[in-house]
Structure 1
Amino acid sequence: MSLSWQLSIIFDGTSSFLGTFATELRDANFDPESSYNRYPTMTRFFAHLCLYLQMIDIPVPSLVTKVILEAYLQVLEAAGQRELIAMYAGALGDNAVERYAMFLTSLELAADVNDRRLALTRARENGLDVHKVAVVVAKRTIDRAFESSVIPLQATPSDVEFLLLCSIEWTAFEDGMHDTALEQVTVILWYFLVASGAGRVLLAKNLVEMLPRELPSIDQPEERATEYLHYRQFLTIQDSLDRVVECQSLGVSMMNRNTRAAWLIDQAYNAVVKLFTSDWMMPD
């Protein structure tokens, strides 16, 4: 720390030199990528100084604190120090949820289900609203996936499709988020089965299998609950049709095979008629 900064602290001029540092950060006067600089050390010092001043009730302009903490968060992200992000993001006040959600969204497929669950636990430990964080991350993840080019028809799921599958985990961790998970899953199922034009039935089944068991019991809002029920019925029909095909390959007598196949076809037919006469996929 330079002598001028020390004198500023001694003579109660902290707000002034913190403001100067924040301005230099905004104006990109520091190069974080330089092989020889004190950028990480400087941002860490000023971030901690801002937090310390808050603790002892010495006012620091909120915009200055936000700029400095944001710079230090970027340093932590670049260093891969995930376990510290929630703590410093939590100090951003009104912007804390959005900032931590932005970090979690950036993980994409680099984090598995256990990492995501741990990340939400860290949010709670640092005073963040877990429900709000999960909702924002889920929405950002879906938006990011949909911003990609249209998912092509292919045998192997793409990274974008895996990202959509993983996005449901954010809102499925806790019981209090199941209503949000219901909203999210209908959007993703609609995309897999309809909007993508790829008919990704297997991915849709995988998505349903990932969901909490309590989800089908949610009946409000009625329109969304009905839509989810119809998707489940559609997937059940797909299973019924698959069993018809499997029956044809069974190593049993022709009579038994045909009898069972006919019964399965009747079951599938009745299910199809029931679904298609329930105004499924009809516009409002």
Structure 2
Amino acid sequence: MLLEGAPVAKRIYSEIKDQMIRFEAKKPKLVLYCSHPDDSTQSYMRSIVKRGEKLDIPVEVIEATEKPFEQIMQLNEDPAVSGIMIMHPLKGIDEDIVIKSISPLKDVEGRGPTNLGGIVMGEGYYAPPTAEAVIEILKFYNIAIRGKDITILGRSTTVGKPLSLLFLKKGIDGTVTVCHSRTHGIQEKSRAADILVSAVGKTGFVREDWVKEGAVVIDVGINLVDGKIVGDVDFENVKEKTIAITPVPGGVGTVTTAILFRHLVESFKRILDGGI
């Protein structure tokens, strides 16, 4: 089974449009905060702006100045702004300080310590959209997670770490192994997985002999090769061993953007309810 992201994203966008109708004249606004974005970042920003137009949600691009902390504080206090997204990397700026200064309510990427900590505590939070997208895809296609052995390749704060915590939540109940560059026996741990998630950013990292027969493979990798986007997984060879696999492009990334906008709408509703 090909786990395409488009049907999952379509359902999320449909839910967002239904909510937007109830907001009447009021609209959420997303701010993309950047510093000298390269071509790929600019392309990503354009895709987000275009998606905002389709949803009738304004998206504003703000270029960082020499006083980024003051800029973020102003955005935090602006009731017209519902969400702030930091376009990685921020050149010449301490990105960690900027992220930590974003109001948890407007941290729609879930990159700040309050939202990441909320995953552990099980309280209200925004999980990083890419990590959440993996869970969303598995649920959409009715793939069983409870009790399954799950291996995650990569321990980033935007995918690997938060995704491991989402899998461990009560009601989801996965059994998780997180691998990284210092992991011993990484191939064996990958082959033991019922669900294998790769988020390392290396083309062809997951080969056929890394995958158990009948496994589910989720490819989070985004790599550019000869002008084409490819994932971490050797798709053509690996797919023959799986019962389900995500494509790249057209898989997790498609759902990630949809979840970003879902978080934005949730933040907007909280602000309307006096959460700011």
Could you state the TM-score of these two structures normalised by the residue count of structure 1? 0.28
> Which structure shows the higher helix fraction?
1
Instruction: Choose 1 or 2 for highest CA Rg.
Output: 1
Bigger relative contact order, structure 1 or 2, given CA contacts below 8 A and separation 6+?
Answer: 2
> Which structure shows the higher strand fraction?
2
